[in-house]
Structure 1
Amino acid sequence: MAFLSTLNDAAAPAGTPAAGSLSAQPPQGAGALAVLGASLRRELRLLLRERFDALAALGFFTLVLALLPLALGGEVALLRQVAPAAAWTAALLSVLLGSLRLFQADLANGALEQQLLAPSPLAVLAGRLLAHGLACALLLPASGLCVPFYGLEAARWPALALSLGLGLPTLVLLCALGAALTLGSRGGGVLLALLVLPLAVPVLLLGIGTAQGVAAAPWLLGALLAAALALLPWTVLAALRMGMD
């Protein structure tokens, strides 16, 4: 139970012994923040150790953005028109790809069960989701490739980056929910896509609208982000517990 012991040590307030059993009361306040920090540091170390997995979403995003103009032809007016939709479609598929193995490794080695038994399982999960979101945030600067690849005016790129900044966290949480619901199932990648894609359509449409300058779109996209942050972490945790039963 090394992982659980580490979290108990991080959660214990200064001057008090760490919780030694699973029956210990969950830490409050600073204890939960310490667990979050310990979980985040662990996930970031894993991302640095497994750089290929961390950069897979970025590579896929870049590849899709580079290939779509070849399929659409070289008409600059058309490419400029479809640039926001191309960037958002590539971002959705890239986050899906990066979420396929979000919980698989810890399920295989038994660490996931320890994490769910930790004093603050929601803080442990939040650290993992935050690290995954930071990896997906690499898509923001990569979206600048729309300027040379699609002839997008440089003045329009900040709106595209804003839309991705508001929408990517919601996509990360939706994909994490799909990964939790399909954990351990055969053909999990197909099931993940079938679960997430319909839920992601509103985010996709509002993101494209924000990039195109629709006035209400960023506010609605921000409202979706607030709702996702308020509800989805608890839902992902419940889905993981259900899958482990």
Structure 2
Amino acid sequence: MGRAFFCLLRRDITLAMRRRTDVLTTLFFFIIVVSLFPLGVGSEQEILRKLGPGVVWVAALLASMLALERLFAADYEDGTLEQMLLAGQPLSWLVLAKVCAHWLLTGLPLVLIAPLIGMQYYLSETAILVTMLALLVGTPVLSLIGAIGAALTLGLRGGGILLSLLILPLYVPVLIYGSGAVAVELDGVQPFFYLLGAFLVLSLLFAPIASAAALRIALE
């Protein structure tokens, strides 16, 4: 199982590196969105400091959604998903490998550039550190929940719009507690991280199973 997991993970990352435009589009979208807000609301430090956490998380949420529609689409079109179903490995385990690849390509870069974004919003060093930790815990949840929506809308016409309608309400708790953790910095931040950690554990347990069930329905 471990060998199959890492083989699929390496395959998805290799294919993504051959289409660097898709990966860079997500990153540039995040940077552009967070950079436009200071131009629209002004350069007053206090206002930007208050808006910063929410803006970063909304931009991260939208950027994560950009690549979700392609999470299973290419494998569905070329028959790879059918081979995965017949491979003898748990489909949920293979789905988790694809979700990990999605996070490494979309979520992890957002965590790494968070300090530059924090400086743009005049966040303190503590707030920047909390932002990075919150994104590190919260963005995998976005990928896991998004995989369920991508599997449910696989092969449907206009699936991108339906995907957004399905998963955006599920993203709201992560958005609230992720931005809330940054807003309070280190004073009482533990409950926010406890909740984000709980969301991550529940997503790891149930999202791959739900996604695998949805993929089986799509392939029937």
Quick check: 1:179 aligned with 2:154?
no
SS at 2:46's partner residue?
A: helix
Deviations 1:68-126 (A, max 9, x none): 11111222111000100000000000000121211111111111111122111233222
Would the aligned equivalents of 1:40 and 1:130 in 2 still touch at CA under 8 Å? yes
CA distance in 1, matches of 2:94, 2:140: 17
Q: Name the residue aligned to 1:127.
A: 97
State which structure, 1 or 2, has the greater radius of gyration over its C-alpha atoms: 1
1:14 matched to which residue of 2? none
Are 2:117 and 1:142 equivalent residues in the alignment? no
Give the paired residue count: 214
Q: Counterparts of 1:126 and 1:197 in 2: how far apart (Å)?
A: 21
1:118 and 2:118 aligned = no
The answer as to whether partners of 2:30 and 2:59 remain within 8 angstroms in 1 is yes
- Give the C-alpha shift of residue 130 in structure 1: 1.1
Cα deviations across residues 156-180 of structure 1 (Å, max 9, x unaligned)? 1000111111100100011111111
Amino-acid identity (%): 41
Normalising by structure 1, report the TM-score: 0.84
| Structure 1 residue ranges (4+ consecutive) displaced by more than 3 angstroms after TM superposition | none
The residue type equivalent to 2:96 in the other structure is A
Which amino acid in structure 2 is aligned with residue 85 of structure 1?
A: G
Q: How does 1:61-210 map to 2 (within 5 A)?
A: 61-120=30-89, 121-136=91-106, 137-210=108-181
1:236 to 195, 207, 211: 211
Letter in 2 for 1:108: E
Q: Secondary structure of 2:43's match?
A: coil
**Code of the aligned partner of 1:144:** P
Write the deviation string for residues 130-187 of structure 1: whole angstroms up to 9, x where unpaired: 1111112110012223233212223310001111111001000111111111111111
Counterparts of 2:164 and 2:114 in 1: how far apart (Å)?
Answer: 22
Gaps of 5+ in 1: 1-31
Asked if 2 retains the 8 angstrom alpha-carbon contact of 1:56 and 1:98, the reply is no
Q: Distance in 2 between matches of 1:46 and 1:175?
A: 20
Cα distance in 2 for partners of 1:157, 1:135 equals 21
> Which structure 2 residues correspond to residues 38-77 of structure 1 after superposition, within 5 A?
38-77=7-46
CA contact 1:99–1:179 (8 Å) conserved in 2: yes
Aligned-partner SS, 1:138: helix
Structure 1 Cα separation of the partners of residues 55 and 211 of structure 2: 29
Structure 1 window deviating more from structure 2 (52-61 vs 221-230): it is 52-61
Cα pair 1:162 1:211 within 8 Å, conserved: no
Structure 1 or 2: more helix by fraction: 2
Q: Which structure carries more relative contact order (alpha carbon 8 Å, separation 6+)? A: 2
Letter of the structure 2 residue corresponding to residue 222 of structure 1: G
Q: Distance in 2 between matches of 1:173 and 1:125?
A: 9
* Cα deviations by residue, 1:38-67 (Å, 9 ceiling, x for unpaired): 111111111111111122211111111111
